[in-house]
Structures are given as C-alpha cells and as structure tokens.
Amino acid sequence: MKRTALAALTALILAPAVSQAAVTVKGSDTMVILAQRWAENYMKKNAGKKVQVTGGGSGTGIAALINGTTDVANSSRSIKDDEKAKVRDRFNVLPAETAVARDGLAVYAHESNGVTQLTLAQLKSIYQGDVTNWKAVGGADAPIVLYSRENSSGTYVFFKDNVLGGEDFAASAQTLPGTAAVVNAVSKEKNAIGYGGAAYAKGVKEIKVVGQDGQAYAPSAENVKSGKYPLSRPLFMYTRGKPSGEAKDFMDFCLSGEGQAIVTQVGYFPVK
Amino acid sequence: MYARTVAFLAAMALAPAVAVAQEAQPSAPAAAAPAAVPTTDPAVLEGKVDSLTEQYTETKLDVAGLKKIKFSGYIQARWAWLELATYGITGSLPPDKDNFYIRRARFKTVADGDWTQFTLQIDAVPSAVGLKEAYATVKLPAGWAIDAGLQLMPFGYEVATRSSSDLDLLERSLVSVYFLDGEYDTGVSARGKLGPVSLRGGIFNGNGIKAAAGRDNDQLKDFIARATVDFGFLTAGASGWYGKTINYSAVVNGGHVTYDRVRAAIDAQLYLDLLPFGGTYLKAEYMWGKTGIGSANGAAGVALGRAASGGYGILGQNVGPWNQVAIRYDTFINHSVDISGATNTKIKQLNEISGAIHTFIGSGGKFSVAYYHPTYGDKGAAAASDPKADRFEAQLQAKF
C-alpha cells in the first residue's frame, strides 16, 4: 500500500518534468516561420534532439513562460515589468532576454493603392479613425479599411506603442490572427491597410514610412540596419534565467553563422 | 476567434443565397420561368458585407466590454497534523488536530472602467462566507490610483505583496501573524510609482478585518504605508504604521486609556541565477511594534501597548520548472507577555524552523507539504525548550 502511494506520488511529481523532453518554443506569430526554420535545421543537424515551435502571439508565449509550459518564449516586443515580476515570483529567477534577429514592421496596402508614403502622424490618424478616406493622405477617394492584430500580439503592442503613442485603435479596425492573415486580407481588399513583419509582404504593396530626417524609407535591410526606417524592432527569445541545457544549445544555433543566415533567408535581419 | 465569428456570420448570411443558387440549377431548363435575381449581384453582396461588418463591430465592442471583467481565485484543500492535538468531545477545533479542511476558497472579481475599478473578493469556507476585499479605485494621472474600502494592509512583505496562494511556506511568519493577522483592513490609500520605487499608503481603521466584524473599536485612525524598491535581482521594502487605540472595555481613573498601535518593518529579497536547474533566493524581514492586531479591547487587552518583535529568513531553491523547496527560520519575541499563554513561566521568545516542498502541476495547480518545528528560545526554569507543537501540512491548490 505504502509502495503504491509512493509510486503514485513520484509519478505525480515527475509527470510534468517528463513531458518536457523536447525544447518547447512558443510565442510571436511574427517569428513563427523563422523559429520553425531554425528548428528544422537544428534537428537535421542534431539527430535525436527535438524542438517544438508554436505561435499564438508574444503575450501568449510570455504567459507560457510564466506558467512553465514553454522553455523559450519568442517575442516581438520587450517583456513588461509586471511579466518580469511574475516570472521572478514563480521561478525565483529573472527572465533572460536574447535578441536573435531584427524586423522591419511594414505597412501594407493593396498593390493598386496609389499612396506611396505616410508619416507616423498620418498612420496614427488612420489607425485611430480620425482619417477615414485615402484622399486625405494623397490617395483615391475611397474609404480606408483597417486591419490590425489581436492584442496578444507583440506586433500589435509595438505598433500601438510606436505609432499610436500607446492610445487605442479605432473600433473599426478588424483584428486578424496572424500577420499572414493580415497580408491575405490586404491583398484582396483594394482599400485596405495593414501592418506586420516585412518578411510577410508578398502580394501587397509596402508603403514607405517617413523617418526623422523627413525622407521616406522602405523596410529594406539597409534602412533597418542603419536605423533610418522608423519602424524596426529587435526580435527576442526569453528564458527563465540564463539559457541552459537543450534550450541553450538551440539558441546558440540560432545565433550561429548558420542560424543568422536563416534569418536573412526568411526575410529578417541578422543581429550578428 | 474574431475570424471564426466573421466566417460563421458570413456563412449564415450567405447560406440562403447559396441554397437559392443550388436550387436554381435543376429548374434552369424551364425557360418559361422568370429569371431569378442573380445572387452574385455586387450590390446585394456589398450590402451583406456591410451588414456583417456592422454586426462584427458591435460584437467586438461587446467582447471588449466583457474583457474588462476579470475573474480569479483559488482553492486550498489541506490536511494537517498537530503534535499538540488533544482528542475528545471538547477537543480542539480544526485545524488544531489531524484533519481535512478548506484553508481558502477565494473568488475575486475585478471590473475595469475608464477612470475607476471595482474589486470584490470573497472567501467561502464551510464555517462562513466572508468578505476579504471590497474597494473602489479611482485612477489618477501618471499611473497613480486611490483605493477606498476593504483592502490589503500596505505593510510588510508577506502581507502587502504575497498572496496566500504564493507563500514560500504554507503559512506566514509568526511576527506577521501577530501584527497583521487577517491581512485586510478598511480605509483609503494611494498607490503609484516613482522610478524603481513603488509606494502605497493611507489612513485605515487599524484594527484589521478579524476584530469587531471588520469595524473599528474607536474613533482613532492609523496611518499605514509601504515603499518597495525593485532592482530586478534585488527587491527591498520598508513599512511604517502609526496609530493609537482606546480601550473602552476598562475604566482607569474614571476614564479610558489610549495605547500606541505602531509598527515598523524592513525586508529584502535576493534572487540568484547560480545553478543550472533553477533560481535560488534569500528573503528576510524584521518587524517591531506595539499592540497586536485585533487586541484593542476585552480579553486581549494584555497585549495593548506592549512591544513585540520578530523576523525570519528564508532560503529557497527551484528544482526544474516544477519543483521548489524552502527552509525558514522564524523568531518572535513578546517583550512583556508570556508567549505560551500560561502564567509565570516567563517564556517570551518562540523560534521555529520550517520547510516546504512545492510541486507545481500545470499552470494553476500546486501540491505542497510543509513541516514546522517550534522551540522556546527564552524559557522559564520549569519549562521545556520543546513545546511539542510540531505541525505537518499537506495541501493541494488549484488557481485560475
């Protein structure tokens, strides 16, 4: 009886640990394709090692890091102070931040759209619903259809903080689950505007954004690297404390020459 | 979710048109029949899309409103063993002997408005359903806020910052229980941040939720405040409490005596990333004060105006993502009252060493065991150093 109880207790305690055999990577939808490529190449190179990659948004990834259900959280925004405190309260260690790539946040429009550039102030007016017609920003006389991301998305948070100054989106902005969905919607709606990772901009037009020097810049590698393009951001991996074990091996691969070459192939910008 | 909703609405709206189109095909040879209105008429479709967009926007606003209401809570089911337990028809009440019992069954609702916030927390256990938090918040510029109502006392690390669901052991330290038992009090406080320093302080009844059904025993109010600084790997806090209480249950020289009800506390927490299998932490807190909580009147009057002090140190270690161990040394000195409750044994200091193991189960579950071994540090000649009052607790917690 005692042995049975002991075995049951041991199984209960060890069960979660056993289920962690693979390195789990969860979070940013912007980073999901990049992380999948990294994982595929890492597993090819290291037979027997397993990396599971899922999206859901940066907030979802960080929430999973806090509740212990992922080893690595991908995030296209910096972790917030209250999220750091939650990791510390639960695991008694601070989250470690590792920048693994850079991204230019592109503004998408339909290929037929005549608008070629926008200022950050114009973008803010459009996404807050103050400007509702393309004519007001130099385009055709047509209503602007707004596409945005869900609030669990790091892309959403970055856009809100850096374009809207932390203020709310217009209620008419339609939220879509993933940058690919935004690109797809914009490619089909001639009056649409959307935003997301530059790497996803296929079949849509990238609108140039006016930088601090008054010049309009596209989210190219050169402009992102030089900092002239005003909407660029680092992409992070977060771990509970310093990366260790299998997670560290995987992250070391992401930051290696081979891993950073994959960054370029996918359409982002290397950090090394 | 939104995409699914839109897809569903689109399917619902377009279904009749599709059905008409499908039914129209077999009847096509009947040339005499009047031509059906083309279901792919752009104007009709545009109208449907506009209608769906309107419904979608309305639904989105409704959902956004619901997202401002947040529910949380936890249940702690516990079994306890007490070395000191006595059995019989006049035996101790739970948890003072071997027993299963519900330590906490909390349900909290927070509703966020533009400028205000509603917070209500209820604790439902078989003996009673009690109100633990009920306060209204007004949000001020720069992240400051004012809370008015029944709320956590802004004092001490264990009470002001740690939920009962996240304690390092399964119970708070001896000195915290003596000065801050019940953890909640009624009053009005302000909170906000200045750089790395978080501040919270205000005016409270000062007698805690457990005394007089949460009401004050006198007309005097207490000022309670806490400042916390956060450097990431190191956090520290200082707490202060200044107030007085009147003992209306005793007449001395034709009047009632007013006593000091004061406390001061300091605490620090150090988080170290030393070992590859999890975080290591050290925590310590020291507290001094006069007049224990809820001891303003009547039988507890022996504690009025009397000084007490104590503190604890905790060493903890996470073992992988799912396990955590903690050891605490705890000491409490009642400077002028016999701590054992007996008379003339002169036992004024109680020390306790305790340990706990926590195993986290998924995102909301936790199974914990804890053992406590108290000893007398300052005993009278006739008293043993071991009061034979060890305790063991096993607890399963579910939190959402």
Walk along chain B (400 residues) and give the pLDDT tens digit of each residue. 444 444 444 444 444 444 333 333 433 344 444 555 556 788 888 888 888 878 877 887 788 788 899 999 999 999 999 887 766 665 555 555 678 889 999 999 999 988 999 999 999 988 889 999 999 999 999 999 999 999 999 999 999 999 999 999 999 999 999 899 889 999 999 999 998 899 999 999 988 887 766 677 788 899 999 999 999 999 999 999 999 988 887 788 888 888 899 999 999 999 999 998 899 999 999 999 998 876 545 444 457 888 899 999 999 999 998 999 999 999 999 876 666 655 556 778 899 999 999 999 988 899 999 999 999 887 777 777 888 889 999 999 999 9
C-alpha pair distances (Å), A34 with each of A42, A230, B96 = 12, 22, 58
Distance from CA of B271 to the nearest CA of A (A): 6
pLDDT at B283: 98
Query: Are the Cβ atoms of B321 and A93 closer than 8 angstroms?
Result: no
Query: Both tokens of residue A230?
Result: 């005003």
With left for phi above 0 and alpha for psi between -120 and 50, is residue A245 left, alpha or beta? Answer: left
Across A152-165, b (16+ Cβ under 10 Å) vs e yields bbbbbbbbbebbbe
Provide the shortest C-alpha distance from residue B4 to chain A (in Å).
10
Is the pLDDT assigned to residue A1 strictly greater than 80? no
Please name which of B391, B382, B385 lies closest in space to residue B350, comparing C-alpha atoms. B385
B72: which chain A residues are within 8 Å (Cβ-Cβ)? none
Count of CB contacts below 8 A, A vs B?
Answer: 84
Residue B31: CB partners within 8 Å, gap ≥ 6?
none
B362/A176 Cβ within 8 A: no
Q: What is the pLDDT of residues A12-54, one digit of tens each?
A: 444 444 444 689 999 998 899 999 999 999 999 998 899 999 9
In angstroms, how far is CA B71 from the centroid of its own chain? 13
With a cut of 70, say whether residue A2 has pLDDT above it.
no
What whole-number distance in Å separates Cα of residue A181 and Cα of residue A149?
A: 9
Find chain B residues with C-beta within 8 A of A245's C-beta: 276
CA distances from B145 to B22, B116, B148, B190, B393 (A): 61, 9, 10, 6, 38
How far is it between the farthest Cα atoms of chain A?
A: 80
**Cβ contacts of A244 on chain B, cutoff 8 Å:** 276-277
Report pLDDT for B29. Answer: 41
SS3 A35: helix
- pLDDT of amino acid B324: 96
Average pLDDT, chain A: 88
Determine contact: A215 vs chain B, CB below 8 A: no
How close B240 gets to chain A, by Cα (Å)?
A: 24
What was the pLDDT predicted at B93?
Answer: 57
Q: How far apart are CA B336 and CA B296, in angstroms?
A: 17
pLDDT for res B55: 84
Find residues 144-183 of chain A whose CB sits inside 8 Å of chain B: 150, 171-172, 174-177, 181
Query: What are A170-221's pLDDT values in tens digits?
Result: 988 998 888 889 999 999 999 999 999 887 888 999 999 998 889 999 988 8
Out of A13, A17, A92, the one facing B280 most closely (by C-beta) is A92
- In chain A, what residues touch B61 (CB-CB under 8 Å)? 171
How far, in Å, CA of A133 to CA of A145, rounded? Answer: 9
- Determine, for residues B273 and A241 on separate chains, whether the beta-carbon distance falls below 8 Å: yes
Query: Is A69–B60 a contact, with Cβ atoms under 8 angstroms apart?
Result: no
Q: Do A91 and B278 touch (CB under 8 A)?
A: yes
Q: Is A5 on the interface with B (CB under 8 A)?
A: no
pLDDT band at A264 (very low <50, low <70, confident <90, very high): confident
Q: Which residues contact B275 (CB under 8 A, 6 or more apart)?
A: B317
Distance separating alpha carbons of residues A68 and A50, to the nearest angstrom: 18
Q: Is the pLDDT of residue A239 over 60?
A: yes
Please report, for residues A197, B181, B208, B285, B294, the alpha-carbon distance to residue B152 in angstroms, rounded to integers and kept in the order given.
Answer: 44, 11, 10, 18, 15
Q: CB-CB: which of B2, B232, B367 is closest to A94?
A: B232
According to the per-residue pLDDT averaged within each range, which of A6-10, A261-265, B12-16, B302-306 is highest?
A261-265
Rounded to a whole number of angstroms, the distance from the CA of B58 to the nearest CA of chain A is 9
pTM of the model: 0.77
Contact A233, A103 (CB under 8 A): yes
Assign 3-state DSSP to chain B and report helix, strand, coil percentages, each to 5: 20, 50, 30
Give the burial string for A74-101 (b: 16+ CB within 10 Å, else e): bbbbbbeeebbbbbbebbbbbbbebebb
- Pairwise CB contact (< 8 Å): B278 & A17: no
Provide the percentage of residues in chain A whose pLDDT is more than 70: 92
Is pLDDT larger for residue B214 or for residue A251? A251
Q: Which positions in chain B touch A90 (Cβ < 8 Å)?
A: 166, 360
User: Is-contact B284 B311, C-beta < 8 A?
Assistant: yes
Count of CA atoms in the C-beta half-sphere (13 A) of A246: 19
User: Token pair for residue A173?
Assistant: 């902005």
- Give the HSE-up count for residue A189: Cα atoms under 13 Å, Cβ half-sphere: 20
8 A C-beta contact, residue A118 and residue A207: yes
Partner B contacted by A143 (CB < 8 A): no
A68 and B363: CB-CB below 8 Å?
A: yes
